[in-house]
Structure 1
Amino acid sequence: MSLSINGRRVALTGAAALTAVLALAGPASAHTEVEADKAQALAENVILTVVCEAESATAGFREVRVVLPEGIAPSDVTLEQAPKGWQLKTTDDGYVVGGTPLKTGVDAEYKVKIRQLPDVEEVAFKTIDTYSDGKVSRWIELPKGGEEPEQPAPLLKLKAAAPGAKPISPSPTASPTPSPTPSVTATPSESGATAAAADTKKDDDGTPMSLVVGGVAAAVLVLGAGAWLLTKRRASAGS
């Protein structure tokens, strides 16, 4: 009797353990993961490694679309490494990496550089995988109430920002501080170039050089003619 009870207990315990293992393994059997070489808030030029696990038995990955978290602009992402033939294109809310479909069962792995991570504790990179046969997997769900979602979005936990770290300008073309007033003194080379350009266009008062040269030539002719007439009159009076 005691052996029967003990056997039942062992069986129930084993079944519960197996159920727990399957429950934990289910969502992780095929999903997307993201890692960073500098998982720290406000870190700059961070390399993210993204791995999308293949879950289709009949088709390979064609593209991976990512919705960026708040604080990371699409223009702040550049492609560092990807499967052969794959390229990165930005979207309004993130980016797409894709190209020639991969072989069936091959994971899609690529690396991107992030200009700067936001000042938060964790960031979510919602990912949508598309296969060559049109099948779509959406890893976009966030944890709620402590429960693990069935299709969780890749999460990256960040350490606190380093002392003195500050957010950089949102755009690479924007200057964080006002630019100094340009100097009005030209260098010798600049002066020569400016003078050469002025010779082919206008002089200092805005008059075209062709008119100036023509005016000088006309004045010389007038003076020459006047001198000739004056000399002729004096010759006539003397005679």
Structure 2
Amino acid sequence: MFSSPFVARRISAAGALVLAALFVSAAPALAHVEVQTETPQALVQNVSLTFEAEAESDSAGITEMRVVLPDGIAPTDVVLLGQPKGWKLTADTDGFTVGGPPVAVGTNAVFTVKVRQLPDTDELAFKTIETYSDGKISRWIEIPKGDARPQQPAPVLELKAAAPGASPIATSPSASDAPAPSPTSASPAVPAPEAAAKDDEGEGRTGLLVAAVAIAVLAAAGGVWWLLKRRSGTSQS
């Protein structure tokens, strides 16, 4: 009885459903944050990178994207080119944050930055933390290894080899790296309050000493004049 076409079709359909279920259960989660560029090549300068975060919430909009930069890209080498209305870029110690008013619920958050130069490597991973208006946070920070795909993978950009003759350029200095201004010879040094007080005290003592000496000299001169006048009077008598 198993040879009837009807039974054979039912067995085939059941097998197909089982295979499909196994395939779906084994399939890894798709990345919810992606990064793309039109020039994915090592050591390319002034590269535009576009990040897109897929909306996951049915009740809240995305308000912020925090990106950790890979080695070879400094936060000071990143400039914001395009973003949702009202969003701004803030540089951090190890990356940058782009955020502002929440985008519409169910709308992907897309922004573009310009990078001064891509490092000399074959791929770049941008760990990203996504924040929603209701406080929910999605962390896309796991680095894919081999054929295994993590549940919350970081967006990865694969690069072609650098062009012949391309070389790294120096990174832009940050504000904390700027040397402190040195005093010039034209600007006189300002004494400390304690030193100024001591100078004033010394000048006061010097003035009193000069006055005392002057009084002593005048007194001595008066005494000499009186003594001479007395002797003159004695001799005339």
Establish whether residue 134 from structure 1 lines up as the match of residue 135 from structure 2: yes
Where does residue 35 of structure 1 map in the other structure? Answer: 36
Aligned residue type for 1:50: F
Post-superposition Cα deviations, 1:106-143, rounded to whole Å, max 9, x if no partner, equal 11000000100010000001110000000000111111
Equivalent-residue separation in structure 2 for 1:161 and 1:65 (angstroms): 28
- For 1:8, what is the secondary structure of its paired residue? helix
Equivalent-residue separation in structure 2 for 1:34 and 1:149 (angstroms): 17
Q: How does 1:5-24 map to 2 (within 5 A)?
A: 7-21=10-24, 23-24=26-27
Greater shift, 12-21 or 112-121, is seen at 12-21
Q: How does 1:104-183 map to 2 (within 5 A)?
A: 104-171=105-172
Equivalent-residue separation in structure 1 for 2:39 and 2:173 (angstroms): 21
TM-score normalized with structure 1 length? 0.67
Post-superposition Cα deviations, 1:9-38, rounded to whole Å, max 9, x if no partner, equal 4322333134424643x612x600110121
- For 2:52, what is the secondary structure of its paired residue? strand
Equivalent-residue separation in structure 2 for 1:148 and 1:76 (angstroms): 30
Equivalent-residue separation in structure 1 for 2:14 and 2:22 (angstroms): 12
Query: Unaligned 5+ residue runs, structure 2?
Result: 175-237
Which structure has the bigger radius of gyration? 2
Equivalent-residue separation in structure 1 for 2:163 and 2:140 (angstroms): 31
Aligned residue type for 1:27: A
Where does residue 63 of structure 1 map in the other structure? Answer: 64
Equivalent-residue separation in structure 2 for 1:73 and 1:160 (angstroms): 21
Greater shift, 3-12 or 111-120, is seen at 3-12
Aligned alpha-carbon RMSD (Å): 2.0
Query: Unaligned 5+ residue runs, structure 1?
Result: 174-239
Equivalent-residue separation in structure 2 for 1:80 and 1:141 (angstroms): 27
Equivalent-residue separation in structure 1 for 2:134 and 2:71 (angstroms): 32
Post-superposition Cα deviations, 1:129-163, rounded to whole Å, max 9, x if no partner, equal 00000000011111134211111110100000000
Q: 1:172 to 1:44 in 2, by over 3 A?
A: farther
Query: Kindly, what percent of the aligned residue pairs are identical?
Result: 54
Aligned residues: 172
Aligned residue type for 1:146: D
Aligned residue type for 2:133: S
Where does residue 52 of structure 1 map in the other structure? Answer: 53
Equivalent-residue separation in structure 2 for 1:102 and 1:23 (angstroms): 33
Q: How does 1:68-87 map to 2 (within 5 A)?
A: 68-87=69-88
